[in-house]
Amino acid sequence: MYLKSSNNSFIILSLYVDDILIAGNSKEMIDTTKKWLSSNFEMKDMGEARYVLGVKIIRDRSKRLLGLTQETYIKKMLESYHMHNSKPMDTLVDKSLSLRCDMCPKTL
């Protein structure tokens, strides 16, 4: 994981073997980073990520929501243990919980 910040903009670059995931709050900073990377390394832009390491990324830009799910992995695990006919139930997480930046861990 690499983090670059400048003024109120930031970019997070996650590298795993030969896969790169870039996220940030500035399209300009993302584009500049992609341009620099492609001028220094052989790479192909695959567009917006939909899956990363088996985790599905769900976006709703109009509502400014970002979600992650491992539904495919869970179904595969249930099938491998012959539990795919199990009945689903709610999780113990409070559904009204809303995550905020001030809830993030702080580092010095």
Per-residue pLDDT tens digits for 39-66: 999 988 888 889 888 889 999 989 988 8
For 19, residues 6+ apart whose C-beta sits below 8 A from its C-beta are 52
Q: Is the pLDDT of residue 98 over 80?
A: yes
User: Does the pTM exceed 0.75?
Assistant: no
Q: Which domain, by its residues, includes 16?
A: 1-47
Count of CB atoms situated within 10 Å of the CB of 10: 14
Q: What pLDDT band is residue 93 in, cutting at 50, 70 and 90?
A: confident
Domain presence at residue 67: yes
Question: Which of residues 90 and 45 earns the better pLDDT score?
Answer: 45
Domain presence at residue 98: no
Is there a single domain that holds both residue 4 and residue 31?
yes
> Per the structure block, which two tokens stand in for 91?
């999780």
In the chain, pLDDT over 90 holds for what percent of residues?
Answer: 44
Q: Is the pLDDT of residue 91 over 80?
A: no
Mean pLDDT of the chain: 88
Q: How far apart are CA 58 and CA 8, in angstroms?
A: 25
pLDDT digits 0-9 by tens, 7-23: 899 999 999 888 889 99
In the chain, the number of structural domains is 2
Is there a single domain that holds both residue 1 and residue 12?
yes
